[in-house]
Amino acid sequence: MSFTTIEVASGGPVARSTLNRPDRLNAFSPAMLRGLGEALQRLSGDPEVGAVVITGAGRGFCAGQDLNDPGMAAGADGKPDIAAVIEKNYRPLALRIQSMPVPVVCAVNGVAAGAGANLAFCCDIALAARSASFIQAFAKIGLIPDCGGTWLLPRLVGRPRALALALTGDKLSAADAERFGMVWQVVDDAELPSHAQALADRLAAMPSKALVATRQALDASQALTLSDALTLEARMQGELGRAHDFAEGVAAFQQKRAAVFKDR
Ligand code: T3D
């Protein structure tokens, strides 16, 4: 796959999408937003792909919306039409990641600001380099968190921390992001690519359908009563119990061999 501002490496069970505008700290241009969406769409239809890694080129992960993009001021009344940008670009991106048929690992290699930070939090598991940082930069330019930030932040860290992060726009270190539960692990900078690859390799060898159903059930549970969550668990578990991967997983356990999963 070839996109000007997204590098996609696929061909095995793990595909890697790299945001590639390093001189702009990988700030989102329209082409990069489009390219990432298209890359994820194509990878989601590739039966060889069992996990996706999203990372950034250079010293930054993603500095959010490109604030120099001329498209920012392209509203019909001459004023920026940010609602249109969100509906056209950020909504589909957040929903695409949340509905990928395989796990998505984010390897946050440097600063993640604005929509760049919330892109990382949309992913299933976020790893961060020790030198990485997270900034809800929106308030500093008169905006609210977007790319799912208002939904994700309170769920990740609770209302008091979510509000403090969003209102101050203060930079949060990778270590504090790990302490707050916003990222799964912080690793030394040099180890981030191999660590992300190893995690993605592991996930790609696991039963994709069950992993994705787990994501769906956890996300859905936020709006459910315990009773309704138990009903949903029973329904989803019922479906998984009739699928190939459950039979294969149990057979592999009994025969003391590695399981070969295939359900999508
Ligand atoms: O359409 C819409 O607006 C709606 C969507 C909104 C979603 C959003 O994401 S809003 C939030 C947008 N992002 C920001 O406000 C962050 C702006 N950037 C920064 O605050 C800082 O650059 C960082 C804290 C991220 C990093 O600081 P530092 O000191 O490490 O690097 P730097 O020198 O500021 O940046 C390096 C270069 O990248 C620099 O260019 P130069 O001077 O070398 O030519 C800088 O201008 C450029 N850059 C960084 N962020 C952006 C950017 N260029 C365009 N847009 C950016 N967001």
Give the domains, in start order, of the chain with CATH numbers.
Answer: 6-204 (3.90.226.10), 208-255 (1.10.12.10)
Low-confidence stretches of the chain (pLDDT < 50) are none
Using CA atoms, how far apart are residues 243 and 157, in angstroms rounded to an integer? 35
Nearest CA to ligand 1 atom 38: 24
Nearest CA to ligand 1 atom 30: 111
Q: Which of 33, 67, 147, 171 to mutate to test the pocket of ligand 1 (most atoms within 8 A of CB)?
A: 67
Q: Are strands 125-129 and 104-108 parallel, antiparallel or unpaired?
A: parallel
- The pLDDT score that the predictor gives to residue 1 is 62
Q: Which of 24, 36, 133, 173 to mutate to test the pocket of ligand 1 (most atoms within 8 A of CB)?
A: 24
Ligand 1 atom showing the smallest separation from residue 25 Cα: 38
- The pLDDT score that the predictor gives to residue 74 is 65
Distance of CA 64 from the midpoint of ligand 1 (Å): 7
Tell me whether residue 126 is exposed, middle or buried, using C-beta atoms within 10 angstroms of its C-beta: 0 to 12, 13 to 18, 19 or more: buried
Distance of CA 57 from the midpoint of ligand 1 (Å): 15
Distance of CA 72 from the midpoint of ligand 1 (Å): 14
- Adjacency order of strands within the sheet including 133-135: 60-62, 111-113, 133-135, 171-173
Using CA atoms, how far apart are residues 118 and 116, in angstroms rounded to an integer? 5
Nearest CA to ligand 1 atom 2: 82
CB 263 within 8 A of CB 209: yes
Distance of CA 137 from the midpoint of ligand 1 (Å): 9
Q: Is the CB of 146 under 6 A from ligand 1?
A: yes
Tell me whether residue 47 is exposed, middle or buried, using C-beta atoms within 10 angstroms of its C-beta: 0 to 12, 13 to 18, 19 or more: exposed
- The pLDDT score that the predictor gives to residue 73 is 57
Q: Supply the pTM of this predicted model.
A: 0.96
Nearest CA to ligand 1 atom 40: 24
Nearest CA to ligand 1 atom 18: 63
- The pLDDT score that the predictor gives to residue 69 is 83
Using CA atoms, how far apart are residues 165 and 47, in angstroms rounded to an integer? 39
Q: Is the CB of 74 under 6 A from ligand 1?
A: no
- Percent composition of the chain: helix, strand, coil (DSSP 3-state, to 5): 50, 15, 30
Nearest CA to ligand 1 atom 47: 24
Q: Which of 23, 24, 25, 89 to mutate to test the pocket of ligand 1 (most atoms within 8 A of CB)?
A: 25
